[in-house]
Structure formats: C-alpha cells, structure tokens
Amino acid sequence: MSAPISEQMTAGTGRSVTSLPSARRRLPRYLAACAAGLVAWVALYASLQPLARWLTFEALRLRHETHVASAVEFFVFESPKVLMLLVLIVFGVGIIRSFFTPERTRRALAGRSESVGNILAALLGIVTPFCSCSAVPLFIGFVTAGVPLGVTFSFLVSAPMVNEVAVVLLFGLFGWKVAGLYAGTGVLIAILSGWTIGRLRLEGYVEDWVFETRAVETGIDEERLEWADRLEAGWRAMKDIVGKVWPYVLIGIAVGAAIHGYVPENFMASIMGKSAWWSVPVAVLIGIPMYSNAAGIIPVVQALLGKGAALGTVLAFMMAVIGLSLPETIILRRVLKPTLIAVFVGVVGTGILLVGYVFNVLF
C-alpha cells in the first residue's frame, strides 16, 4: 500500500503534493456515496423503459400508434438513458485519467522508436487528460524531450478525436458497433497519420525556436494521489463535462425524436447515401473548418443518420469536425510552419476520407 509513504512525502518535503491531509478520512464516505449512487443508477436505468411508457401513455395520455406519442416516448426514454450513461462513463474515465498525466505520457514516449511509438501515443491519447488549449505547450514539451515528431502527431490526433463523450453518445444512440468502429478507426487514423508524418521527415518545418527551448522536468507528476483524490477527480470531470454537454445531448435526442416520429426515412439518402460517392469528400471538406465538441455534433449526426445518410459519410463528417478543426490548426501554427500544417491536415483528412469509404462499402 502506498498510502503511508505518500503521507510521509507530503509531510517531509512539503513539495507539490496537493493531496489534502484528510484524504484517508474522506475515502469511506466517498465509497459509501459511490455504492449508493451505483445502486440508484442501476435501479433507475432498469426502470427507464416502463417509466417512459407510463409518462407517455398514462401521464400525458397520448394515443398509441400516433406520431406524437412515438416522438415523445423516444425522447423521454432516450434522453435520461444517454445522460445516465454519460454520467457513469465520464466519472469512470475521470478516475482512469487520474492515473495518467501529460508528463508521464511524455516519459513513456520519449526516445521511442516510431511504429511502436505511434501505437502507444495513439492509445495514450485516449486516456491522458488533454485540452486543445494546451496543444502548443504539450507539443513543445514532447518534441524537445525527444518524442519523435510523428509520434507526437499520433497523440495530437487521437486525444481530441477518440474521447469518451463521443464514444458514449454513439453507443447510446446508435449502438456498440458504431461506437466501436468510430473508436477503432479513430485510433487507426492517429497511428497511421502520425507514422506517415514521421516518414516524411518534416522536422525542418517546425518553427526554429521550438527546438531551442530546453525541456524541463518539473517533477509535478510525482504527486501521489490517494483514492479519495481519484474519486474526486472523477466527480470533477463528470460535473465539468456533463455540465457542459447536456444541452447538446437533449437537442440531439429531440432532433432524433422528431425524425423518429415524423420525417420519412431515406429523406437524405439521395444526397448523402451510399450511392453518392462524392458525399464523403464533401462531408470531410465541410467538417474541417467547423469546430464543435463531440456532444455538439451529435444532433447533426442524429439528423443525418436518421434521414438515411450513409454511416461512413456521417462518421467521416464527425471525425473531421472533432479531429481537425480550424481553431486547432490556428493554435498549432504558432509552432508549425504552413507546409507542416498543410501536410498534417492533408494526411489526417485523407485517413478520415478512407474510413468514410470503407464504412460505406462495409455497411
């Protein structure tokens, strides 16, 4: 058990340890709350379907087999379901993320050979806490510490694109196949585009001052967290993220409900269906300059898929919006010369394009 050691460190060095002294006293209370919360979650989740039926047909007295009843039932069932999944998963991922820090990830990747490095970076991108506003300091910190350029890009592609919010929403609304395909191909794009950028030897297109910066190890990640701190981290992530995304989720499900009840299927099939080969590149080109978080794009995805747009086209659009965005490229321009920016967007865009086509062929 590491608890006593970390307390000694706190007391002995008075360093950057933020673990508050009462961490071990807080733990039993937190665990009790978690257990109670989990029981309540399971009970509520299991009764969502009957509750939705009761609300639609008894409380609101809507008639069976009508458009409005179908739309209302869809909304009152799907929205608590997706929000509850989101709460649970974001909390869990928040706890998992507390084991990873950008500093630790950098140490794991520094001096790694490419290929293995690309795979590791794409996977670590999923679990390392990352905010695109930190993309530049992170980029500098990585390349100056000896993380190869292509490996750094694998991280920078996977971190925003493959995130728990996107995966949970896709799972809740479209099932595990769509969610799994999105996550799997997202990681694959991150690995391959980083590997490609590495092969192209573009180090000369990083702004010169970047390599003049000396990498500093701050030891900030030596901080030992108690389990109480990790549960708090999960709670904080849940409040932050769910607090931000719930309106988009509700709008997305409302759009879905309206489609479910009213709009004829295959409405979009002629424009964005499988037979329209050009729809994938158009979706990617429209998606790149757009910027939205994973939740914000869900209403659009919901509307497109519901009206008969092809899965590959829609996923390509979603990846382009989340994974490649104008604001992010503008931020990265501070450290990358225009040629490298263009290569980055081109390589990742091509990967997304291929994923779009492959899905359209497979499904």
Partner 1 sequence: MKIIVYGPGCARCHETERVVRHVVAQLGLAADIEKVSDYQAMAAAGVLATPAVSIDGVLKISGRIPKSEEVRGWLSPEARG
Can you give the binding site for partner 1, defined by CB under 8 A? 14-16, 18, 20, 101-103, 106, 129-131, 133-134, 136-138, 140-141, 144, 209-210, 213-220, 236, 331, 334-335
CA-to-CA distance for 178 and 264, rounded, in angstroms?
A: 22
| CB burial string 86-103: b at 16+ within 10 A, e below | bbbbbbebbbebbebbbb
Report in angstroms how near the CB of residue 13 gets to partner 1 at its nearest: 10
CA distances from 149 to 134, 159, 179, 348 (A): 17, 16, 29, 15
Report in angstroms how near the CB of residue 216 gets to partner 1 at its nearest: 3
Beta carbon nearer to partner 1, 209 or 363: 209
CA-to-CA distance for 15 and 224, rounded, in angstroms?
A: 11
Report in angstroms how near the CB of residue 196 gets to partner 1 at its nearest: 25
Beta carbon nearer to partner 1, 14 or 204: 14
Q: Exposed, middle or buried by CB within 10 Å (0-12, 13-18, 19+), for 219?
A: exposed
- Give the up-direction half-sphere exposure of residue 211: CA atoms within 13 A in the CB hemisphere: 11
Report in angstroms how near the CB of residue 331 gets to partner 1 at its nearest: 8
Beta carbon nearer to partner 1, 15 or 199: 15
Report in angstroms how near the CB of residue 28 gets to partner 1 at its nearest: 20
Q: Exposed, middle or buried by CB within 10 Å (0-12, 13-18, 19+), for 255?
A: buried
Beta carbon nearer to partner 1, 107 or 276: 107
CA-to-CA distance for 79 and 299, rounded, in angstroms?
A: 12
CA-to-CA distance for 213 and 219, rounded, in angstroms?
A: 18
Beta carbon nearer to partner 1, 291 or 357: 291
Report in angstroms how near the CB of residue 138 gets to partner 1 at its nearest: 5
Specify the 3-state DSSP secondary structure of 321: helix
Beta carbon nearer to partner 1, 151 or 315: 151
